Chain A
Amino acid sequence: MSAIYKREVKAYFTSVLGYMMIGVFLFLIGLFFWGNNLKGQNASVGATLYSVSSLFIIILPMLSMRLFAEEQRQKTDQLLFSAPVTIMEVILGKFFAVVTVFSVPFLLVCTMPLVISTYASGKYPFLTNYASILIFWLMGCVMLSLGILISSMTDSQVVAGLVSIAVNFLIWLMSSIASIIPATATASVIGISILLLLGCIFLFVFMKNIIVAGAAFVVGEAILVALLQWKSTIFESLFGKILSSVSFYSRAADFVDGTFSVGTIIYFVSFIWLFLYLTMQMIQKRRYS
């Protein structure tokens, strides 16, 4: 794992990519820090990060897109997977490398509360600010792990990048989408059906088996309809709830407001684990087909 980690970190800094991403990040954070915290006299670094975090949508895919796609295109994955390392070690090596690059600007962000505290009258809320920094860093890690998963699905880093941006954008919009969906049971059933269809399409792409995917969709729909007949009240505003459950941004925003929640940290870590696990499955699947 350490071999891959070292190589990847080095690769970010032999090309212009690592420097550029860190530079762009720092410039934007600096800009918002100046505008929001220094000039705008806002004590909350979390609020600054919240504004900057919408840029994660574009910046993070740039870092994660090449990780597996490029290996697959150059066929260098044959080296990695014929070496005496496990697939998970390869994935973790790459994940920690990209997280390392992403963490560089965050180290600088960690000095911001110190800077602000020198201007503060009274007790400065260090805990809330550092908790906010932690949660935005974790959210970035989730998006990077998602980017790794998408990168493992294709051998074109451009495709990986664009798909990651699109998915990140959807996640960003999730709470807004959730709020405009009608709370009626029918709307929920339709929404869940669409999710089910997407899930089955994914299943089909994954397994290349139309019968299994089709059967899963039919069974799922049957259960939905049966439940709707039996007790339609459980569907009321259900879809909105499902959507907002994957809204990373609203959870991070809670931290900015000062509500520290261990649940959210576990929630983000679980997503990281899930995406990395799916990446492993994706690579295993490539070996089998």
Chain B
Amino acid sequence: MIEVRNLVKKYGNHTAVNGLTFTVEDGKVYGFLGPNGAGKSTTMNMMIGYLSATSGEIIINGHNIFEEPEEAKKCVGYLPEIPPLYMDMTVKEYLTFVADLKKVPRKERKKAVEEAMAMTNITDMANRMIMHLSKGYKQRVGLSQAILGYPEIIILDEPMVGLDPKQIIEMREVIKKLSEKHTIILSSHIMQEIKAVCDHILIINKGELAAQGTPEELAGTLQGRQEVMLTVKGSQSQTDEVLKYVKNIFKREFKPSEEEGTTNVLIYAEKNEDIRESIFKAFAKSALSILGMSAYSKNLEDIFLEITSKEDKKLLSRKPKNDEKTTESEEVTAEEAAEDSEAVEQENQKESEE
């Protein structure tokens, strides 16, 4: 178990990590997600004791990394962004060195090295010089170094970077296999990777914890609005007239309709209560028929973008807590609306593909 409390790291005037607090529980796969330069690597480097913190504390299995570094480091295996490999050694020599460095008892060293190589499928490369290996193999040697001696916690910084699709799938499998016995923390700036392997996601932006939770929780709690696609038998003006009086709707977007005499509209509403019911009742009263209605839930990618792109006030402002910004969003321009609809279409495509 790792506890991180009020972690701050400053480089001169620049604050790389600003008051991070979170807990990592045993046996789960954690994902650090954030754009480049969000402070993911810095946080990880502090967690394994490579960097010191300006303030705050990190406690690994009861050992404070800054006070009892040796004890704390014993519990952790680490794969940095650039695998720390000595090019002038063979894979086996290197891993034997790491086992020695990690104080794996002499008798168990050979077995530990062989197991680590088997786990990452590099046994065939055991006697090759590391400098002659491809990027994918180097990454795997780095991973086998991290899992060597079976530390309880394995920290992987951008483990998939530079791998080809096949290798990424293999890496995911290795991580899944490891997660049966170990706590894993990995970082990435790519959503799909995190989604594919993690139980718990920590979204970091500008050195701060922007959000955390399971992928489902994130999709639920952070979705500050609901979106409903509606097809109505009737003209655009008639539909608009009915929708005007439904509470909580803050935006209506009309879409081109394929069927004659029908209107498609995408409705954005506050998340207070299910808007579909009010819509249904309103249309029932007005005697216009609803031909179709479907709720659209955002995926993690949208949430990630929403949280990490602060400039994009349009999206952020839909959070219901902030009343000021909600009014702002009513003046969404047609252009922005078009962009939005595009995103939705892409999303629908993605879902249908899946």
Contacts and interface: CB of A to CB of B under 8 A. Distances in A.
Contacts of A75: 80, 82, 84
A11 B94 CA distance: 11
Interface stretch (B47-55, B197-205, B215-223, B282-290): B47-55
Nearest to A288: B52
Interface in A45-93: 74-86
Contacts of B78: 78, 82
Given A6-B100, A288-B52, A76 B70 contact: no
In this complex, the interface size class of chain B, counting residues with CB under 8 Å from chain A, is 20 to 34
In this complex, the interface size class of chain A, counting residues with CB under 8 Å from chain B, is 20 to 34
B52 A76 contact: no
Contact of A15 (B12, B85, B88): B88
A77 B78 CA distance: 12
A14 interface: yes
A97 to B, nearest CB: 13
A41 interface: no
B13 to A, nearest CB: 11
A83, A86, A289 interface centre (most CB from chain B within 10 Å): A83
A84 B73 contact: yes
Interface in A232-289: 287-289
A219 interface: no
Interface string A89-129: 00000000000000000000000000000000000000000
B11 A84 contact: no
A4 interface: yes
Nearest to A15: B88
Interface string A207-236: 010000000000000000000000000000
A76 B84 contact: yes
Given A2-B100, A84-B70, A84-B71, 16 more contacts: A10-B93, A11-B86, A11-B88, A74-B86, A76-B84, A76-B85, A78-B50, A78-B78, A78-B80, A78-B82, A80-B101, A81-B49, A82-B48, A83-B102, A84-B74, A289-B12
Pairs of residues from A and B, 7 with the lowest C-beta to C-beta distance, nearest first = A3-B100, A79-B84, A82-B48, A76-B84, A84-B73, A3-B101, A78-B80
